[in-house]
Structure 1
Amino acid sequence: MPTTLPTSTHAAATPQAVPERDCLLEFRNIRILYDNAIEAIRDVSIAVPDGGIVALLGSNGAGKSTLLKAMSGILYTEEGVIENGSIRFRGEDVHHLGPDELVRRGIVQVPEGRRVFAALTIDENLQMGGYTRTNAEARERRDRVFALFPRLHERRDQIAGYMSGGEQQMLAIGRALMTDPALLALDEPSLGLAPLIIDRIYEVIVRLRDELKMTVLLVEQNAQRALDIADYGYILETGRVVLDGPSKKLVANEDVQEFYLGISASGRKSLRDVKHYKRRKRWLS
């Protein structure tokens, strides 16, 4: 069973929110700057328990992807730096490590936009994902990916660049799974996909937790879909955590319903109403 997290929905989780022995990943009072001037993340603390799904929610520019880049060691590609705080994985500070070492330790990210190797086949993409493994390990992991995504097996010899967006997302996740990660971070996995494909991908995410005991950090703008499967959620706005709690409690929160789910006491709100509500809402300040 996933670790039970704290029930407060009034402030960001403190580093002590999850016992360290149960916590796989922690952001501790992280502050991130771009170009030594632009503050993207301000004093954020997030705890990700071993074997659970944690959702990071928020609008565009809230800082969700920045946290994933910091966790994956690729902030430097955009002139970003961790100005303060730390990132701990399995009880050790890892924010100073390079991307290759973080992958070896079990932290793997599927970035937004899929980014498969377009000129390679599905099979060759998966081979690239498992290049650090022995041939036997790579075959075993490839078979596991094909079991999760039968469509990839059916089209294993197809050039990835000619696949649909949904198939490319499946391949991007499958390639990440070839490393056998302890923690899989997914950045906007439903972006631009048809509802039936989103259903399939979310089914796989649940199976990763329930059957493979994998920890998943899920970044999404689609709050409803993410909270449907997550154990715990954090809501970010303007670079800081404004609300957190178990998913069921967040879904029942009136502010979350109106601000992120577009639902009010009078029924579902239009996009125009939601935008107006966001402009006038003051609980984020």
Structure 2
Amino acid sequence: MLELRNVQVLYDRAIEAVRDVSLSVPDGAMVALLGSNGAGKSTILKAISGVLTQEDGEVVAGSVMFDGKPLGGSAPRDIVRRGIIQVPEGRALFAPLTVEENLLMGGFTRSRSAAKEGIERVYDLFPKVRERRHQIAGYLSGGEQQMVAIGRALMAEPKVLMLDEPSLGLAPQIIEDIFSAVVALNRDAGVTVLLVEQNAQLALEVTSRGYIIENGRIVLDGASEDLRRNADVQEFYLGMAKGERRSMRDVKHYKRRKRWLS
């Protein structure tokens, strides 16, 4: 199990990005972490991955645990070796390299034969990636790049796959293809998934549990189906009121009416 216990994160030793956050991701589960831009979602993933120091960030309180052991102080490469892999927002591919070279970079901890087998599994999961395997990654479409980014993460044989805004900027059909593949990984290979998304409707459809974060703290959590039926979540995150879609601009007294903040 991946677990955060009362985690606080500061940037530049002054700016509080995450405050007293606790959440758990059971083995084999798919869990959603929802919230608007700047709420702290990506910071939480970076705290787990051990890459906060690259942005002058630091976990100053609480702990990040995996399989009952702390991750705090571990180098990012050691966290990867323990089986926790993050697919960052924006994909972060090696643009000048080919698709296959990007995949091989993801399997740097594995033997040559194991990496070859891993590539074939990625190609089976994403046939479009097989078609583009000799092309320069930077020339791919956004959806194809996202598939390569997920495939690169799978090359390390993750126990926990953390996805940061995988649907961002993609066409609906591509989003459906990518999420179908992630669901299949969870169902068939038992890969645990922590999904960070702004598309709350989609995230709650494919996960079993969700957490909502605002201003750096968890304000609501529960079974995904319960969150989908919650009136406040429907209005403020699913854009619905009385069964009808609504724009955030149409919601009056937005902050005042968030009952979980009262």
Give the TM-score of the pair, scaled to structure 2: 0.97
Superimposed CA distance per residue, residues 238-279 of structure 1 (whole angstroms, 9 cap, x where no aligned partner): 0100000010000000010001001111621124214x4534
Q: In 2, Cα distance between the equivalents of 1:150 and 1:67?
A: 32
- Aligned match for 1:245, one of 194, 212, 222: 222
For the 8 Å contact 2:236–2:248, the answer to whether it is kept is no
1:281 maps to which residue?
A: 257
Aligned pair 1:68/2:45, yes or no?
A: yes
1:135 aligned partner: 112
Unaligned runs of 5+ in 1: 1-23
- Structure 2 letter corresponding to 1:54: V
- Measured in 2, the distance between the counterparts of 1:180 and 1:70 equals 21
Instruction: Give the structure 1 partner of residue 27 of structure 2.
Output: 50
Q: 1:216 aligns with which of 175, 193, 197?
A: 193
Indicate yes or no: 2:109 matched with 1:109. Answer: no
Q: Which amino acid aligns with 1:281?
A: R
Deviations 1:81-131 (A, max 9, x none): 111100000110112101010000001000000111111111111111111
Asked if 1 retains the 8 angstrom alpha-carbon contact of 2:83 and 2:159, the reply is yes
Q: What pairs with 1:1-285 in structure 2 (closer than 5 Å)?
A: 24-265=1-242, 267-274=244-251, 276-283=252-259, 284-285=261-262
Q: Counterparts of 2:96 and 2:217 in 1: how far apart (Å)? A: 39
Tell me the distance in 1 between the aligned counterparts of 2:176 and 2:243.
28
Detail structure 1 runs of 4+ shifted over 2 Å in the superposition.
276-285
Q: How many angstroms does 1:135 deviate by?
A: 1.1
**Offset at 1:154?**
1.1
- Distance in 2, Cα, partners of 1:70 & 1:273: 35
Deviation digits for residues 176-230 of structure 1, max 9, x if unmatched?
Answer: 0000010000000000000000000100110011000000000001100000000
1:27 and 1:88 in contact (8 A); partners too: yes
In 1: Cα distance, 2:243 partner to 2:202 partner: 22
Unaligned runs of 5+ residues in structure 2 are none
| Alpha-carbon offset, residue 140 of structure 1 | 1.0
Alpha-carbon contact 2:232-2:258 (below 8 Å) kept: no
2:254 partner SS: helix
Question: Root-mean-square deviation (CA), in Å?
Answer: 1.1
CA contact (8 A) 2:7 2:22 kept: yes
8 Å contact kept, 2:42–2:164: yes
The structural deviation recorded for 1:153 is 0.5
C-alpha distance in structure 2 between counterparts of 1:167 and 1:114, whole Å? 10
SS in 1 for 2:203: helix
2:125 aligned partner, one-letter code: L
The 1-side partners of 2:226 and 2:245 are apart by 19
Q: TM-score, normalised by structure 1?
A: 0.89
